[in-house]
Amino acid sequence: MCSAFVYIKLFFLLLLFLVALCSCGGGNNIDNSEEIIDKQPISKPPAPPPTPPEVGFLDTETEIQIRQEYLDYLIGVGIEWGIDWSVTIDDVWVKQYYGTYNGFIAVSMGDTVSGYFDVQTEVIIDNIKFCYPASGPMILVWGEGQFYGLQEAFDLGLFMREDIENIASLHSEIYCCP
């Protein structure tokens, strides 16, 4: 007798569940009573942003050479400013590698001694915007034993517009411009 009572109770609970489900439209809460008057074609979603180019990796020998020359640059600046920075190659690093273009390498450098701008900085090169946050270094171009600013490298013809676009694409993944 006990088992019959359990079956009856389960039957009524199942029936109650089905009634509740049917009264809600089977889980579909869309009100189908309104007529759609204006049938506009669905527009295509916006195109995704371009994929940044693959730049590969900086080989160890070149990275060490860039770090050494950046260290020499920092020591030279320290001497000009009358500062005796006790820095070694371990105090400088390549923060970001943006690729090699026409034999010149685009990087941002990090170090333990220099500071950065206190405000966000924007640089526009041939209508391409680069944003640098307060805590980040600017992009440098290294080649033929010296460093250039990105604008200077473009002005000298070391980088073409397409190169600047590629670098901007990679840079914007790290630092977004408003």
Q: Convert the pLDDT of each residue in 91-148 to its tens digit.
A: 999 988 989 999 999 998 888 887 655 555 777 788 777 776 655 567 889 998 899 9
> Is 134 a member of any domain?
yes
> Is 100 a member of any domain?
yes
Edge-first strand listing for the sheet containing 92-101:
92-101, 104-111, 139-143, 146-149
Across residues 39-45, what is the average pLDDT? 61
Burial, 169: exposed, middle or buried (Cβ in 10 Å; 0-12, 13-18, 19+)? Answer: middle
Q: Convert the pLDDT of each residue in 58-97 to its tens digit.
A: 899 999 999 999 999 888 888 888 888 788 999 999 988 9
Number of independent structural domains in the chain: 1
pTM above 0.85, yes or no: no
Domain that holds residue 126: 60-174
> Is 81 a member of any domain?
yes
